[in-house]
């Protein structure tokens, strides 16, 4: 005899798991409602058919305590769930055992925000946003896995997503960007409304450890935590990503992430962090390994003033380090010890006035993008970027620079077609640039927009040195009539905001002798010889002595035994 109920269930098995079956489909989101569900009403269990992800949806359900998760019979197989518990009435979360033995957690969401980036990353259209969104429209959100380009404008990314979803409706980019701002306005209003109806988490001691490993990605951003939830992170060896931005954290203690040896992404931005222990990012003494796999660390928008030497030395796989919008006033070359894979470093919007020899560290030989905009830098010494061999973008815009040492950028020049350098010197105080500053920068682009530049022979000389010079102000091309036998082509000058009706003021006869003088002057400039002592100094600074090893008593006994044995053998031979 055939069991009819089992037969029906087999026909309606969920797309996400053979142990679950679907009861209905939400045609707006293409998500299945599935049973059995580990939690009861008001939460719901959903299957994202497209991505084959299971979600326990407890978003904005006015829940006061953590739901009880029941065991689903699976013949000892593990089911992976994602849990959304954002915007509820939680205050303090402190549970040691809360997950059944056959449940693995991917995303665990306690975020108090409806930020665009979070929605794009998780594609949480199953939240109640469709019901609360104006006109109950489906959100134009697609998955976006490219998190590496930090310079992408958020509105541009929204444009790309919107264009893909609404190809027939997009007229031009400006209208879509306007839609983006309308979209973010709705998100902000909805976030404020939901926050008024719910609570923010002040204490999080929920155990993230267990067998099997419990949580992979944890969102605790936009809450009221005043410290790192160390109790929750103790033995949290399965954690890959941790988001603690927009909290009230002021101090990072020793070994704060010392057990998270799988952690790859850590966001601590928009807190009140003013102090970091020197062992914060090191392995806990009782841990198998520490957070050495972190490749993205965001400490921006905090209150850091100084950073201790070698504070990041354990993070040997770090690629992106964001320190913008702090109060950092000085840098040490030893700060970068261990960061030999670092590719992106953002130090913009700080109080840095002088960074003499701050990058004299051979560990930074893979750094590609250095951003130091909007500081108080007023002078650049020679040979400052010698160790940054791979740098292809240097941004010093928005500082107080008025002059440059002729060897300031030595070591950064690019002369091959497949390797270019972009130097941004926008919005400084340059009236002129020494004509020998950018010798051998033929494949580079120098951005000097929004400077009070004076059009003279030396500036005109730079324009004919076969480099791209982006600038605003008076048109400075022409000036010198080259001899016919000298086949010099016009440089790749990108002139922006070109004024109408301006005349070239350079006088060819006046500049002719000046150009001859500059040619002789620049040919004699030998930055290699000038900077060679600095290169030797960099090698000395980054040479780390081998740490002294403590010899145990057992090792001492073995050494003594070997010495006696050798003495006996030598005596017998005699």
Mean pLDDT of 260-266: 95
d(CA 534, CA 536): 5
CB 223 within 8 A of CB 245: no
- Residue 124 pLDDT level (bands cut at 50, 70, 90): low
3 DSSP 8-state letter: -
- Rounded to an integer, what distance in angstroms lies between the CA atom of residue 213 and that of residue 432? 61
| pLDDT of 386 over the 70 cut | yes
- What pLDDT is recorded for position 495? 55
Average pLDDT over residues 231-241: 92
544-554 pLDDT, tens per residue? 443 344 445 55
Question: Out of 102-116, 150-164, 296-310, 387-401, which region has the weakest mean confidence (pLDDT)?
Answer: 150-164
**Cut 0.85: pTM above it:** no
Residue with more model confidence, 415 or 211: 211
Q: Are strands 444-447 and 421-424 parallel, antiparallel or unpaired?
A: parallel
3-state helix, strand and coil shares in percent for the chain, rounded to the nearest 5: 25, 15, 65
Burial 526-547 (b: 16+ CB within 10 A, else e): ebeeebeebbebbeebbeeeee
Average pLDDT of the residues of the chain: 81
CA distance 426 to 429: 9
Section 513-521 average pLDDT:
86
The Cα-based distances of 220 to 107, 148, 205, 247 in angstroms read 11, 22, 12, 8
Least confident window among 230-234, 324-328, 473-477, 480-484: 480-484
Nearest CA-CA partner of 478 in 468, 467, 493: 493
Residue 139 has φ and ψ, to the nearest 5°, of -70, 135
Question: Which of the residue ranges 388-397, 434-443, 492-501, 532-541 has the most confident prediction, judged by mean pLDDT?
Answer: 388-397
Looking at residue 344, its pLDDT comes to: 97
Distance CA 189, CA 133 (A): 10
For 319, other C-beta atoms within 10 Å of its C-beta total: 20
How far is the C-alpha of 112 from the C-alpha of 115, rounded, in Å? Answer: 9
Measured CA to CA, the distance from residue 316 to residue 66 in angstroms comes to 37
* Residue whose C-alpha is closest to residue 458's, from 438, 481, 485, 429: 438
Q: Are 378 and 352 in contact (CB under 8 A)?
A: no
Between 496 and 213, the higher pLDDT residue:
213
Q: Return the DSSP state at 286.
A: T
pLDDT classification of 555: cutoffs 50, 70, 90: low
């Amino acid at each position: 005899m055939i069991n009819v109920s089992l037969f029906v269930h087999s026909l309606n098995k969920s797309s996400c798991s053979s142990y679950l079956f679907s009861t209905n489909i939400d045609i707006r989101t293409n998500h299945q409602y599935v049973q059995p569900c580990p939690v009861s009403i008001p939460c719901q269990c959903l299957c994202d058919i497209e991505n084959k992800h299971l979600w326990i949806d407890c978003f904005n359900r006015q829940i006061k305590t953590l739901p009880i998760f029941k065991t689903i019979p699976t013949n000892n197989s593990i089911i992976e769930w994602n849990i959304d518990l954002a915007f509820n009435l939680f205050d303090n979360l402190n549970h040691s055992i809360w997950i059944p033995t056959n449940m693995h957690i991917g995303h665990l969401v306690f975020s108090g925000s409806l930020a665009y980036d979070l929605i794009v990353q998780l594609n949480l259209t199953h939240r109640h946003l469709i019901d609360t969104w104006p006109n109950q429209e489906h959100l134009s959100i697609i998955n976006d896995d490219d998190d590496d380009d930090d310079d992408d404008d958020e509105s541009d990314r929204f444009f790309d997503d919107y264009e893909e979803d609404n190809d027939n409706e997009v007229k031009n980019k400006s209208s879509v960007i306007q839609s983006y701002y309308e979209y973010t306005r709705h998100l902000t209003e909805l976030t404020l409304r939901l926050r008024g109806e719910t609570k923010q988490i002040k204490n999080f001691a929920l155990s993230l450890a267990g067998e099997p490993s419990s949580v992979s990605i944890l969102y605790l951003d936009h809450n009221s935590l005043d410290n790192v939830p160390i109790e929750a992170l103790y033995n949290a060896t399965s954690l890959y990503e941790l988001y603690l931005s927009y909290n009230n954290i002021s101090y990072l203690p020793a070994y704060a992430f010392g057990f998270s040896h799988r952690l790859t992404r850590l966001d601590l931005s928009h807190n009140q962090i003013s102090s970091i222990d020197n062992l914060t990012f090191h392995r806990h003494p009782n841990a198998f390994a520490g957070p050495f796999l972190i490749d993205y660390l965001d400490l921006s928008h905090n209150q850091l003033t100084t950073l201790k030497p070698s504070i990041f030395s354990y993070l040997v796989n770090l690629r992106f380090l964001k320190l913008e919008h702090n109060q950092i006033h000085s840098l040490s070359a030893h700060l970068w010890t261990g960061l030999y894979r670092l590719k992106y470093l953002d130090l913009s919007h700080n109080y840095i006035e002088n960074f003499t020899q701050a990058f004299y560290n051979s560990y930074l030989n893979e750094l590609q993008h250095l951003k130091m905009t909007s500081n108080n830098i007023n002078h650049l010494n020679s040979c400052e970027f010698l160790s940054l061999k791979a740098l292809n973008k240097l941004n010093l815009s928005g500082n107080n620079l008025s002059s440059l040492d002729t060897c300031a950028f030595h070591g950064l020049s690019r002369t091959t077609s497949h390797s270019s350098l972009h130097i941004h010197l926008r919005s400084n105080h340059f009236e002129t640039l020494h004509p020998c500053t950018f010798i051998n920068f033929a494949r580079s682009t120098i951005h000097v927009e929004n400077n009070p530049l004076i059009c003279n022979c030396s500036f005109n000389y730079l324009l004919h040195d076969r480099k791209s010079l982006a600038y605003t102000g008076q048109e400075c091309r022409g000036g010198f009539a080259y001899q016919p036998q000298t086949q010099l082509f016009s440089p790749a000058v990108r002139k922006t905001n070109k004024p109408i009706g301006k005349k070239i003021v350079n006088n060819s006869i006046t500049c002719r002798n000046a150009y001859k003088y500059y040619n002789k002057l620049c040919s004699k400039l030998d930055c290699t010889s000038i900077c060679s002592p600095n290169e030797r100094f960099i090698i000395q600074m980054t040479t780390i002595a081998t740490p002294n090893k403590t010899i145990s008593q057992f090792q001492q006994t073995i050494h003594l035994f070997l010495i006696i044995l050798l003495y006996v053998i030598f005596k017998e031979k005699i």
